[in-house]
C-alpha cells in the first residue's frame, strides 16, 4: 500500500514538473502579431477650434436718474418687457437746505419787485388816463409789471422743482420719473424702494436704477488662444452650442477680434465677439455659457487615412503597405506626405494611392 502511494506522489510531481516546463516553453516562443488593414478613402477634413464664452445682449443700457433722491416706487422687476419712455421708477426729492433757501430767497425778491412794479403801474395808469404822462411811459411801466409777474411765477416754479422735483408747467416729464431709454427686457433692478440714488455728474457715475437690453440683438463673447487667433478673421462663420439649451444651435459671424491680449491664468488669450443669427430668442438669457466651433481650415474630397496608422519619425511620416498576403502578410515601409488633420483622419498628399492596403492596429493583443 505504501509503495502504491509513493508511486502516485512521484507521478503527481512529474506531472507538475512537465506542465511547468511546457508552460514556460510556450511562453518563451515569440508570437506572430496579426494586424488589421485599412485602405485610403476620400474624405473632407476640417481643422476646427472650440471657443468658450457667453451669450450676451449687444447693448446693455444702465438707466440712471436725472435727479438725486430716494426711490419711492419701482414699477418693474427683472424679466419685464418695457418700451422706450415707460416709467421704471419714481424718486422722492430730498432738497438741499442751501438750494431750498436760495429758491425761497428768489421768491421773496420777486414778490418785492412785483409789489413795487404793481404800485408804479397803477400810478402811471392813473396819470396816463389824465394825460399827464405819455403813452410810452405808461407802456414801459406796464411791461415792467408783467415781467415782475413772470419772474415771481418762475421763482415759485424753481422752488417747486428744488423741493419736489416737479415743474408745474411740465409735470408729465418730471425728473422724478425714471423712464426706459430703449425698448427691451429688464435684466436687473439693483435698487429697492427707500434706496438713495444719485444723479450722474462729472464726479460720480450715478446710481443704476435698472439694466435694460434688447434680447433680439445677441452676441457671443469668448476668448481664443494666441496660437490660433492669427487663423481667425472678421466675417468667419461659427456654430454656437448653448449648454442650457442643447436643442438650439444658432450660427454666428465673427465681427470683432481684440488687438490686445489678456493674460488669464498664465495663458495669453484674445477676446472675440460674434453676432448671433437667430430667429427666436425666446428662452435665451443673458450670461448663458456657450461654446463656439470655428472651422480654421478645410480640405474637401482628399485622400485620407486614420491618423493612428501613420508612423512619425522627426519631420518624416511613414506607413506600412502590404506587398504580399500569402503565405502570410508582408508589409513595406513607405514615406508619405501628409496634409491637414482633424485629430482622427489625416490627409495623404503623396506616397500611396487609393488602391494601397495599409497596415493598421494589431488585432491579437
pLDDT category of residue 167 using cuts at 50, 70 and 90: low
Distance CA 188, CA 185 (A): 9
Q: Any bridge partners for residue 312, and if so which? A: 317
Q: Which residue matches cell numbers 426711490?
A: 71
pLDDT category of residue 221 using cuts at 50, 70 and 90: very high
pTM for the full predicted model: 0.61
What is the average pLDDT value for the chain, to the nearest integer?
84
What are the tens digits of pLDDT across the range 105-133? 888 888 888 888 888 888 888 888 888 78
pLDDT of residue 164: 63
pLDDT of residue 313: 86
How much is the average pLDDT of 184-198? Answer: 91
Burial 134-143 (b: 16+ CB within 10 A, else e): eeeebeebbe
Evaluated on CA atoms 181, 183, 184, 189, the torsion sign reads positive
Instruction: Find the DSSP H helices in 230-353.
Output: none
Cα 202 → chain centroid: 29
Q: Helix, strand, or coil here: 242?
A: strand
C-alpha cell at 78: 427683472
Nearest to 285 by CA among 215, 348, 195, 224: 215
Provide the percentage of residues in the chain whose pLDDT is more than 70. 84
Residue 174 scores a pLDDT above 90: no
Provide the percentage of residues in the chain whose pLDDT is more than 90. 29
Output 268 or 365, whichever has higher pLDDT: 268
pLDDT of residue 327: 79
pLDDT of residue 32: 65
pLDDT category of residue 104 using cuts at 50, 70 and 90: confident
Output 138 or 160, whichever has higher pLDDT: 138
Contacts of 152 (CB under 8 A, 6+ apart): 107, 110, 111, 113, 114
Residue 61 scores a pLDDT above 80: yes
pLDDT of residue 95: 66
pLDDT of residue 239: 93
What are the tens digits of pLDDT across the range 86-99? 999 988 877 666 67
Distance CA 315, CA 331 (A): 22
Nearest to 212 by CA among 185, 243, 235: 185
How much is the average pLDDT of 200-220? Answer: 88
Distance CA 361, CA 35 (A): 6
Residue 254 scores a pLDDT above 90: yes
Residue 28 scores a pLDDT above 80: no
Residue 146 is inside which H or E element, if any?
Answer: helix 135-164
β-strands 184-188, 210-213: how paired? antiparallel
C-alpha cell at 3: 509503495
Distance CA 209, CA 221 (A): 25
Residue 335 scores a pLDDT above 90: yes
Cα 179 → chain centroid: 26
pLDDT category of residue 303 using cuts at 50, 70 and 90: very high
C-alpha cell at 292: 463656439
Nearest to 239 by CA among 277, 294, 296, 278: 294
C-alpha cell at 31: 508570437
Residue 21 scores a pLDDT above 60: yes
Amino acid at each position: 500500500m505504501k509503495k502504491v502511494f509513493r508511486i502516485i506522489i512521484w507521478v503527481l510531481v512529474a506531472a507538475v514538473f512537465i506542465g511547468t516546463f511546457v508552460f514556460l516553453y510556450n511562453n518563451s516562443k515569440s508570437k506572430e502579431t496579426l494586424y488589421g488593414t485599412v485602405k485610403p478613402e476620400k474624405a473632407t477634413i476640417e481643422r476646427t477650434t472650440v471657443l468658450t464664452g457667453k451669450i450676451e445682449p449687444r447693448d446693455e443700457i444702465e438707466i440712471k436718474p436725472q435727479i438725486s433722491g430716494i426711490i419711492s416706487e419701482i414699477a418693474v422687476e427683472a424679466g419685464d418687457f418695457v418700451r422706450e419712455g415707460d416709467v421704471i421708477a419714481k424718486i422722492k426729492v430730498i432738497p438741499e437746505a442751501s438750494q431750498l433757501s436760495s429758491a425761497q430767497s428768489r421768491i421773496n425778491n420777486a414778490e418785492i419787485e412785483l409789489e413795487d412794479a404793481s404800485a408804479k403801474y397803477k400810478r402811471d395808469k392813473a396819470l396816463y388816463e389824465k394825460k399827464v404822462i405819455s403813452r410810452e411811459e405808461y407802456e414801459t411801466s406796464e411791461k415792467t409789471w408783467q415781467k415782475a409777474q413772470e419772474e415771481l411765477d418762475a421763482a415759485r416754479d424753481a422752488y417747486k422743482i428744488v423741493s419736489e422735483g416737479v415743474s408745474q408747467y411740465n409735470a408729465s416729464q418730471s425728473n422724478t420719473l425714471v423712464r426706459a431709454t430703449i425698448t427691451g427686457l429688464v435684466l436687473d433692478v439693483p435698487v429697492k424702494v427707500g434706496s438713495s440714488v444719485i444723479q450722474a455728474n462729472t464726479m460720480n457715475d450715478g446710481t443704476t436704477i435698472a439694466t435694460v437690453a434688447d434680447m433680439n440683438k445677441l452676441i457671443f463673447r469668448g476668448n481664443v488662444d494666441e496660437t490660433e487667433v492669427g487663423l481667425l478673421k472678421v466675417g468667419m462663420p461659427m456654430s454656437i452650442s448653448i449648454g442650457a439649451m442643447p436643442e438650439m444651435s444658432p450660427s454666428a459671424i465673427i465681427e470683432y477680434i481684440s488687438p490686445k491680449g489678456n493674460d488669464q491664468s498664465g495663458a495669453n488669450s484674445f477676446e472675440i465677439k460674434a453676432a448671433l443669427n437667430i430667429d427666436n430668442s425666446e428662452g435665451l438669457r443673458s450670461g448663458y455659457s456657450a461654446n463656439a466651433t470655428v472651422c480654421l481650415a478645410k480640405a474637401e474630397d482628399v485622400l485620407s487615412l486614420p491618423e493612428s496608422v501613420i508612423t512619425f519619425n522627426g519631420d518624416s511620416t511613414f506607413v506600412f503597405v502590404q506587398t504580399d498576403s500569402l503565405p502570410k502578410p508582408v508589409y513595406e515601409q513607405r514615406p508619405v506626405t501628409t496634409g491637414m488633420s482633424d485629430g482622427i483622419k489625416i490627409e495623404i498628399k503623396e506616397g500611396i494611392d487609393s488602391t494601397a492596403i495599409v497596415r493598421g492596429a494589431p488585432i491579437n493583443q
